[in-house]
Amino acid sequence: TWFRVNKLSLNVSKTHYMVFGSKKYESNQDIQIDGQIIDCVDKVKFLGVIIDNKLNWKDHVEYTCKKLAKSVGIITKVRMHVSKKSMINLYYSFCYPYLTYCNIVWASTYPNAFKSLVVIQKRIIRILNFAESRAHTAPLFKLLNILDIRCINHFQMGTFMHKYVNNNLPSIFNEKLNCNTDVHMYSTRQDSYFHV
């Protein structure tokens, strides 16, 4: 499968395509649209999310880590001069948007892919609590009522599924998920569960 992306900058239109798969795509022929040869790319930024051709989200995670690293510096420098409430507001202003934006898409990958984000978020939580660098973070998250990145993903997934069950999503999502009864005919205890 291939994916076409239009990129506009300074009134110049540039078109790329991407082939999704685990192997490197080698094209012997040029792909053209309206007589213009288009380039094959390995990654592209689309609506603020970096999509790569293997869908492992490493490039997006790396991009997010760089953004959060700047926030770590800001919070570290101001923590002696502002209240704890102000520091939490800084967290929700500078860090939280990067951890939540399209989290349902990129954080649903295998946990090792976003391990670096987990480490940075834990570091920020320790800074907010004035804790030592090796302090256990689970009680610190609870103390501040802040969700870790995995909990953010579970919350967003739960919210999405609640909307799906109650038909509160756009019509494009209708009938995209099947129950176990749709997949097999025999009776089980999990008949009404969604088929994974």
The pTM is what?
A: 0.74
pLDDT in tens, 33-59: 777 777 777 788 888 888 888 888 888
pLDDT of residue 167: 82
pLDDT in tens, 104-158: 888 887 778 888 889 999 999 999 988 888 889 899 999 999 999 899 999 998 9
CB of 5 closer than 8 Å to CB of 19 = no
Coil/strand/helix, residue 102: coil
User: What is d(CA 79, CA 90) in angstroms, rounded to the nearest whole number?
Assistant: 10
The H-or-E segment that residue 6 falls in is strand 2-9
**In one letter, which amino acid is 50?**
I
Coil/strand/helix, residue 96: helix
Q: Count of residues for the chain?
A: 196
User: What tokens does 16 get?
Assistant: 């790329």
2 phi/psi in degrees, rounded to 5: -130, 160
Coil/strand/helix, residue 9: strand
